[in-house]
Amino acid sequence: MTSDSLDYTARLRQLVDERLAILVSLRELADVQMQQASDADALMLMNVLARKQPLMDELSRIQDELAVYALDDPETRTWRTTAARLECRTVAERCEQLLREILQLEQLAIEQLSQRRDAIAVQLQDGRDGRTAHAAYFTNTMPDQSALDLSSS
């Protein structure tokens, strides 16, 4: 075991742990986002999205660093112990599970928001149709001054 190879896998474990922490935070925010989407609270939803952005930026940075490790054969990495290898694998699998959950919640939130948008569009169209009908009714039922003949014949 060389010090460089142990440092290499220690950095991998550190990145996987950092990724897990960020994904746990993003998962919690995804729950809040779902609640805000169902409550139709746009201001709170924007707040959640603003809180997610720095986490997404950090996750992207970590993913870039992890890309180097994706090129490796995991079985050729040198670990201090077999248990350390298994722990890292377990944490990485938990990360993948969280990522799937987050993506599923994001999709559900998008669907909820789309349904609300469509419902609002229908309400707006109904309102426009009502105003148009109202205007047309009063325009067509009011006698025209030129149409009224008060002369006696």
pLDDT of the residue at 143: 54
pLDDT of the residue at 134: 62
pLDDT of the residue at 151: 62
pLDDT of the residue at 139: 63
pLDDT of the residue at 141: 54
Residue-wise pLDDT tens for the chain (153 aa)? 567 889 999 999 999 999 999 999 999 999 998 888 777 777 888 899 899 999 999 999 999 999 999 999 988 999 999 999 999 999 999 999 999 999 999 999 888 887 777 777 777 777 666 677 666 666 655 555 555 555 665
Q: Where are the domains of the chain?
A: 3-105
DSSP letter, residue 148: -
Residues 6 or more apart in contact with residue 17 via CB below 8 angstroms:
91
Euclidean distance between CA atoms 29 and 140, whole angstroms: 55
Determine contact, residues 10/85, Cβ cutoff 8 Å: no
